[in-house]
Amino acid sequence: MTQSYWRVMVFAVVPAVAGIPLYLHLPRYASTQLGLDLAVVAGLLLFLRVFDFAQDPLLGKLVEAYQAALPKLAALACLALGAGFVMVYAISPPFAPLAWLGMALLVLFTAFSLANILFYSQSITIAERREHLPKLAAWREVGSITGIILGAALLPIGALVFGDALAYPFFGVALAALILVAWIVSRPLWSLRAPQTPRLKFSELQRAGGARLLFLAFVNGLPVAITSTLFLFFVEDRLKLPGMAGIFLILFFLAAALSVPLWSRLMARAGARRALLWAMGLAILSFSGTVALPEGAAVMFAVICIASGAALGGDMVILPALFSARLDAAGLSATGAFGWWGASLKIALAIAAATTLPTLEWSGFQPEADNTAAALMTLTLLYTIFPCVLKIGAVLLVLRLPSHEVSL
């Protein structure tokens, strides 16, 4: 069992590098390297994520229908995901940059969806019993956060080692190689089989309480989606700390990774609702101080990154474990349900990009330029106040959940 958990941790890198890291680097890459407007990039991301929202449940049904082919589906997901990163970052567009980027992202997002559904739908099978879900979640989320750290750090490492001109190509190829290694290590996971369960209907998910948890995951994911989309802009253009974004990202996600075992223990001792509320409260308390930071406040921002990263660790452990437990208690298929779960989180990322990037552009903001006070104030409010308001909304949703839906 421990060996399976270790393999889970390694494979968790695969979907992780295609989530938050993509939104960290893509807007600036598309703007500075491909010459695309931020509003155009936002529109493209929103369109592709809406497409994702439609295809994720279908991919979930595909995985349900072809359980015997899980090893082949996992190989396909990893191959396509690696190819997508190479297409986006390592190959100069052979035709119109917007069309090429859209095609590459379509490959990448579809592969990400398939990998995510395969991964989360195996949770109960790998854990064997519902009581083991918190432990499995801890291993899985440590791997996820490690993947996010690598996805965030590889670009600045590439710039340091190979120079700015080769940083993005190195980034794309390195991510593809990382995904290949994770697939090789995780191959035994896909041979595990669970007892067959009836195919999921969304009405059944609603009756089991899963729909409320889906909506909570969506609302709770919006603050992280917004801050991820705007992070590089805030650090380099608002705080005037060029070259330090990689350090802050490593601190943030390292704190999240180190906090995972603590949140797992707290969830087991104090209950999932209380642990989740504490995680959300820490996020609001720590991040609210960002609004008043002056230029050059590297130490204070590092402290905020550590505290808010620790809060993220709680979110990443508790919510997926609760969702899996609801499905298992109701005897529902995890495969189909995590198609909806993945769709809700990706729509949060798309909405974050579609609302914040055009707003920034309309305010006159330009990356790596001398921006007006009004443009920088818009960036500050979007990055600091807006996420805190949304997080408060997530807290209210947790307080309204029935007690049986926030227990394992």
Confidence of residue 260 (pLDDT cuts 50, 70, 90): confident
> Please, what is the average pLDDT of the chain?
82
Diameter of the chain by CA atoms? 60
Q: What is the pLDDT of residue 186?
A: 85
Q: Does any domain span residue 375? A: yes
Residue 196 has pLDDT above 60, yes or no: no
Confidence of residue 393 (pLDDT cuts 50, 70, 90): very high
Residue 11 has pLDDT above 90, yes or no: no
Q: Does any domain span residue 245? A: yes
For residues 295-302, average pLDDT: 93
Q: What is the pLDDT of residue 170?
A: 94
- Domain housing 184: 7-401
Q: What is the pLDDT of residue 174?
A: 93
Q: What is the pLDDT of residue 127?
A: 63
For residues 57-76, average pLDDT: 82
Q: Does any domain span residue 47? A: yes
Q: Does any domain span residue 351? A: yes
Q: How many domains does the chain have?
A: 1
* Cα–Cα distance, 303 to 269 (Å, whole number): 28
The fraction of the chain above a pLDDT of 90, given in percent, is 25
Q: How many CA atoms lie within 13 A of 39 on its CB side?
A: 8
For residues 327-334, average pLDDT: 67
Q: Could you tell me which residue, 66 or 219, shows the higher pLDDT?
A: 219
* Cα–Cα distance, 77 to 113 (Å, whole number): 8
Q: Which residue has the tokens 């595990």?
A: 192
Residue 106 has pLDDT above 60, yes or no: yes
Q: What is the pLDDT of residue 335?
A: 56
Residue 344 has pLDDT above 70, yes or no: yes
Q: Does any domain span residue 217? A: yes
Q: Does any domain span residue 100? A: yes
CA distances from 52 to 4, 57, 77, 342 (A): 30, 9, 15, 9
Q: What is the pLDDT of residue 144?
A: 79
Q: Name the residue type at position 158.
A: G
The fraction of the chain above a pLDDT of 70, given in percent, is 87
CA distances from 274 to 60, 318, 343, 393 (A): 31, 10, 26, 16
Structure tokens, 152? 């965030």
Q: Does any domain span residue 115? A: yes
Q: What is the pLDDT of residue 214?
A: 84
Q: Count of CB atoms within 10 A of residue 307's CB?
A: 18
Alpha helices in 86-189 (DSSP H): 97-121, 123-127, 133-162, 164-186
Q: What is the pLDDT of residue 207?
A: 72
Residue 228 has pLDDT above 80, yes or no: yes
Q: Name the residue type at position 129.
A: R
Q: Does any domain span residue 2? A: no
CATH of the domain at 128: 1.20.1250.20
